[in-house]
């Protein structure tokens, strides 16, 4: 079995828990996920199976879509509702929809974020959350991310509203919520989060564990899987002929054709089938070398 299982991850499970459960259901070892979702977050989590485990790095490097709730008046040490409260302020005059829109405009396009202390970013070989648990503060490196879309959806009440976000990989939605709240003049945190899409996979494509168990029981496993090709539509590609296919499948370095993409890495296809992922050779720009080769036998 080779392909991507578009899982709707439930709350209460880690991404690794989901991988272990899929391994058990499918009785397979080659299973991996494409980007961690926190246990209290539910949403789209692509699970790669068999040969598809080779494309995990290329699925993590995609746009992500989220729906998040921003709670005003309360900030926490983890920037979400799971953390200890560090500041509260009564909301006497809630911001208007126009005031919120004016602030959201400031966060579209390239923005700079400082990763939260409770995150897996490493500083001096140690994860930030490890420093946080030891009450040790370290300077955190800034990172640039891109916000493609940021729209207000609805108000729950005077102190909470929802936003829809489309962003580049590496974006911390928790931090985005806190920064939006600060711009509005309030302490804030992210109180809810749903990932509604990652790359070419959206919520409509997903299966719950209940769906998966029913189809596995009916021996209809393959109905759960998306093809490797359908999940790499964000990558550029070149087409090759049947003769070159054999060299590709043997993992050979090849002359880089003129029509090859300038950006690395890129796909090599025969018709619609993805044979491999290649990149420009670091020592010779006229040569391309394999990064991943897929065995379709």
Helix H or strand E encompassing 146: strand 143-157
Known catalytic residue at 179: no
Cβ–Cβ < 8 Å for 120, 127: yes
Q: How far is CA 254 from CA 92, 245, 267, 280, in A?
A: 67, 11, 14, 10
Query: Which residues pair with residue 68 across a beta bridge?
Result: 163, 193
Please count the other Cβ atoms lying within 10 Å of the Cβ belonging to residue 8. 20
CA 60 – CA 78 distance, rounded (Å): 23
Task: Give the count of alpha carbons within 13 A of 249, CB side only.
Answer: 13
Give me the residues paired with residue 76 across strands.
Answer: 85
The answer to whether the beta carbons of residues 26 and 53 sit under 8 Å apart is no
Task: Identify which of 169, 212, 166 has the alpha carbon closest to the alpha carbon of residue 8.
Answer: 212
What H or E segment, with its residue span, contains residue 34?
A: none
For residue 153, give both structure tokens.
Answer: 């959806």
38, 61, 155, 264: which one is catalytic?
38
Of 252, 66, 90, residue with least CA distance to 158:
90
Place of tokens 């010779």: 284
- How remote is the C-alpha of 52 from its chain's centroid? 16
What's the Cα-to-Cα distance from 13 to each of 5, 6, 19, 238, rounded to whole Å? 17, 16, 10, 39
| Active-site annotation, residues | 38
């Amino acid at each position: 079995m080779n392909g991507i299982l578009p899982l709707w991850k439930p709350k209460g499970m880690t991404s690794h828990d989901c991988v272990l459960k899929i391994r058990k259901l499918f009785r397979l070892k080659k299973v991996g996920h494409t980007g961690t979702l926190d246990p209290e977050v539910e949403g789209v989590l692509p699970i790669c199976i068999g040969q598809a485990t080779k494309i995990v790095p290329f699925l993590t490097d995609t746009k992500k879509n989220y729906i998040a709730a921003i709670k005003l008046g309360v900030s926490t040490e983890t920037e979400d509702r799971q953390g200890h409260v560090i500041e509260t302020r009564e909301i006497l005059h809630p911001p208007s929809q126009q005031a919120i829109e004016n602030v959201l405009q400031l966060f579209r396009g390239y923005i700079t974020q400082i990763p939260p202390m409770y995150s897996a970013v490493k500083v001096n070989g140690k994860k930030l959350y490890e420093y946080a648990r030891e009450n040790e503060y370290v300077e955190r490196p800034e990172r640039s991310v891109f916000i493609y879309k940021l729209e207000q959806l609805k108000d729950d009440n005077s102190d909470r509203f929802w936003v829809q976000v489309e962003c580049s990989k590496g974006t911390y939605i928790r931090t985005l919520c806190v920064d939006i709240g600060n711009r509005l003049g309030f302490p804030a945190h992210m109180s809810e989060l749903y990932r509604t899409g990652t790359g070419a996979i959206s919520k409509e494509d997903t299966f719950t564990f209940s769906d998966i168990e029913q189809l596995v029981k009916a021996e209809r496993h393959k109905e759960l899987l998306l093809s490797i090709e359908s999940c790499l539509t964000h990558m550029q590609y070149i087409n090759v002929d049947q003769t070159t296919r054999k060299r590709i499948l043997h993992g050979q370095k090849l002359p880089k054709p003129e029509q090859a993409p300038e950006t690395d890495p890129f796909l090599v296809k025969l018709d619609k089938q993805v044979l491999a992922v290649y990149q420009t050779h670091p020592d010779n720009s006229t040569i391309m070398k394999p990064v991943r080769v897929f065995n379709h036998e």
